[in-house]
Amino acid sequence: MAKGKKKLLFVGRGASGGNQPADGGEYGARRVLSMVQHSMRQENIDYLFLKKPNTVKRMMNMAFRQSYGHTPQAAAQLNQLLHLNYDAAFFNGSIYGDYVKSVCGKKIKTVVFYHNVETVFYRQKYLSSLLMRDYFMYLYIKHNERICTKYADCIITLNERDSRDLQQLYGRKADCCLPTSYPSADIRKIQSAGQKGYFLFVGGNFFANVEGITSFILHALPYLNITLWVAGDCCEALAKNRQVTSNPKVVLKGFLENIEQAYIDAKAVICPIYSGSGMKTKTVEALKYGKAVFATPEAFEGISGDFNKIGGLCKNNSAFISAIRSWLAVDSPPFNRYSYEIFEKHFSNAVVFQRFNEFLHQII
């Protein structure tokens, strides 16, 4: 793979501490950083990593409509770096409006990776909470994303749905759609999967995960003869719900260091998520391990295939009950080769990183 002599400035979130990402958002940020590093020689990349701001800094960013995570030090460093002879500036997220704008006119191509259409995501978050702080955050994010979309030379989204949302909101589609991806799993390990027989849900502690899995537990699980393991930081919110904690079919595992083994031992995976943007990393991760996946249209967004072969496309709790009962009735094996092949064909790092490499070297 010829990586050439092009120079690139990477701006945005990188890798925070810990071996395992805390949630899908952190995983997505790390993955994009890895894609860039895979496509460029290391000596040809400079970095401006922007940390997630604390509450005080975030309020300052919002009040002055600054880029997310802006500090005077970061702005000064960016200004200094822009005097160097870069071919491109790559922004890891669509929340750095003024920083993207500042690159314009400097003969540096700007590339922005949209992990979600953040305007859609934060609007849904506000409509779920009806908190004024979420409303002001939505307005702030929309301001940044509008500027990013206006001034970016190239836009990358995770799927066509997000591209259409950008067109509807800002009058501009993506230049490239690249889905969520993962490194391939060891096929020898996962073919002997499902030894413990539970169904699995994995999710971070944000509104769409908590609402979706709570609804499933209250309205679908009572009619299914299964045990449900819930892993991830969403357990923090679920642990406060007595209707969840009193259910003997539910096991709250919390954050697991070895999430791979939890997938391998699971009989199947559920993804009852009804709102959001981008792609659901945990759906793709389940396919990686060859799991049957029962998911909503939102959780399957960006994934093509025969959903009946994957597991089941479920628009509501009644559909989850019906699909899972039917699957259990035929004693389906815990390793789903069709799911595994869908992953290997479309969502493995080998495939997606190569597509990114080809796109990046077409534009710079």
Q: Residue 137 corresponds to which amino acid?
A: M
- Separation between Cα atoms, residue 351 and residue 181, nearest integer Å: 8
Do 141 and 277 form a contact (C-beta atoms < 8 A)?
no
Say if residue 25 is in the same domain as residue 149: yes
Say if residue 201 is in the same domain as residue 158: no
Q: What is the DSSP letter of 184?
A: P
- Separation between Cα atoms, residue 283 and residue 24, nearest integer Å: 11
- Specify the pLDDT at position 364: 92
How many beta carbons lie within 10 A of that of residue 332, not counting itself?
Answer: 15
Percent of the chain with pLDDT over 70: 96
Say if residue 292 is in the same domain as residue 325: yes
What are 340-346's contacts with CB under 8 Å, separation 24+? Answer: 340/187, 340/190, 340/287, 340/288, 340/289, 340/290, 342/287, 342/303, 342/305, 342/310, 343/182, 343/184, 343/284, 343/287, 343/288, 343/290, 344/184, 346/179, 346/303, 346/304
Domain ranges, residue 175: 8-181+348-363
Say if residue 266 is in the same domain as residue 309: yes
Q: What is the DSSP letter of 110?
A: E
Q: Is residue 2 part of a domain?
A: no
The 10s digit of each residue's pLDDT in 294-324 is: 999 999 999 999 999 999 999 999 999 999 9
The predicted model gives 183-194 an average pLDDT of 85
Q: What is the DSSP letter of 169?
A: H
- Specify the pLDDT at position 19: 55
Say if residue 160 is in the same domain as residue 275: no
311, containing H or E segment: strand 311-313
Mention every residue, 6+ apart, whose C-beta is less than 8 A from residue 293.
268, 269, 270, 271, 283, 286, 287, 300, 310, 311, 339
Local confidence band at 1 (pLDDT 50, 70, 90 cut-offs):
very low
The 10s digit of each residue's pLDDT in 277-293 is: 999 999 999 999 999 99
**Sheet order of strands, 88-92 included:** 45-49, 8-12, 88-92, 109-113, 154-157, 176-177
Say if residue 208 is in the same domain as residue 335: yes
The predicted model gives 267-272 an average pLDDT of 98
Domain with residue 80: its CATH number is 3.40.50.2000
Do 261 and 195 form a contact (C-beta atoms < 8 A)?
no
Q: Which region, left, alpha or beta, applies to residue 254 given φ > 0 means left and ψ of -120 to 50 means alpha?
A: left
Backbone angles phi, psi at 79, to 5 degrees: -60, -40
> Which of the residue ranges 10-19, 87-96, 243-252 would you say has the lowest mean pLDDT?
10-19
pLDDT higher than 60, residue 18: no
- Specify the pLDDT at position 213: 99
Number of domains in the chain: 2
CA distances from 274 to 53, 101, 126, 213 (A): 28, 34, 15, 10
pLDDT higher than 90, residue 23: no
Classify 26 as helix, strand or coil. Answer: helix
The 10s digit of each residue's pLDDT in 28-62 is: 999 999 999 999 999 999 999 999 999 999 999 99
- Choose between 258 and 155: higher pLDDT: 155
Q: Is residue 3 part of a domain?
A: no
- Separation between Cα atoms, residue 43 and residue 40, nearest integer Å: 8
The DSSP secondary structure of 64-100, one letter per residue, reads TTPPTT--HHHHHHHHHHTTS--SEEEEESS--HHHH
Do 301 and 159 form a contact (C-beta atoms < 8 A)?
yes
Q: Residue 255 corresponds to which amino acid?
A: F
Say if residue 216 is in the same domain as residue 140: no
Local confidence band at 13 (pLDDT 50, 70, 90 cut-offs):
confident
- Specify the pLDDT at position 192: 72
Q: Is this prediction's pTM over 0.75?
A: yes
- Specify the pLDDT at position 2: 45
The predicted model gives 192-206 an average pLDDT of 88
Say if residue 156 is in the same domain as residue 21: yes
Say if residue 98 is in the same domain as residue 39: yes
Q: Is residue 12 part of a domain?
A: yes
Local confidence band at 355 (pLDDT 50, 70, 90 cut-offs):
very high
- Specify the pLDDT at position 341: 98
- Specify the pLDDT at position 24: 73
Q: Is residue 74 part of a domain?
A: yes
pLDDT higher than 90, residue 193: no
Say if residue 65 is in the same domain as residue 206: no
**Residues recorded for the chain:** 364
Do 262 and 229 form a contact (C-beta atoms < 8 A)?
yes
- Specify the pLDDT at position 15: 61
The 10s digit of each residue's pLDDT in 100-111 is: 999 998 999 999
Q: Is residue 267 part of a domain?
A: yes
Backbone angles phi, psi at 339, to 5 degrees: -60, -45
